[in-house]
């Protein structure tokens, strides 16, 4: 996995040990990171895409056109946004990319938002 993807795949070690935002103010870096994740999730297509990948455990880009009703270039755009936010990671297999959720990223998001 490229270094850039690894850096985006998880919050910084400081954010991993922080309190939920309901208990302590976010640092500027934590706020920037959380805003990027929330912006990535603020789109219905990306929410559906994330839920499909999560439900299947792993999903090929080639199998997302029909359930999302979107073209491959649009799917590529949305997977890129989710990947840059560290919510999904992909492995190239032949000409297709297989996507999976980054569980630690979702767990950190849940904790930051005060979930258990």
Q: What range does the domain containing 102 cover?
A: 3-112
For 58-110, how does the pLDDT look when each residue is reduced to its tens digit (9 = 90+)? 999 999 999 999 999 999 999 999 999 999 999 999 999 999 999 999 888 88
Q: Which residues pair with 89 in a beta bridge?
A: 100
CATH number at residue 104: 1.10.10.10
For 91-103, how does the pLDDT look when each residue is reduced to its tens digit (9 = 90+)? 999 999 999 999 9
Q: What is the three-class DSSP state of 75? A: helix
Q: What is the pTM of this model?
A: 0.80
Structural domains in the chain (count): 1
């Amino acid at each position: 996995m490229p270094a850039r993807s690894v850096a985006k795949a998880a919050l910084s070690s400081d954010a991993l040990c922080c309190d939920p935002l309901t208990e302590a103010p976010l640092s500027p870096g934590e706020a920037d990171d959380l805003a990027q994740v929330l912006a990535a999730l603020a789109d219905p297509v990306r929410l559906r895409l994330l839920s499909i990948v999560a439900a299947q455990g792993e999903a090929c880009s080639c199998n997302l056109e029909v359930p999302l009703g979107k073209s491959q270039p649009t799917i590529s755009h949305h997977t890129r946004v989710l990947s840059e936010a560290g919510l999904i990671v992909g492995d190239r297999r032949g000409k297709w990319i297989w996507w999976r959720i980054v569980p630690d990223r979702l767990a950190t998001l849940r904790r930051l938002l005060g979930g258990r």
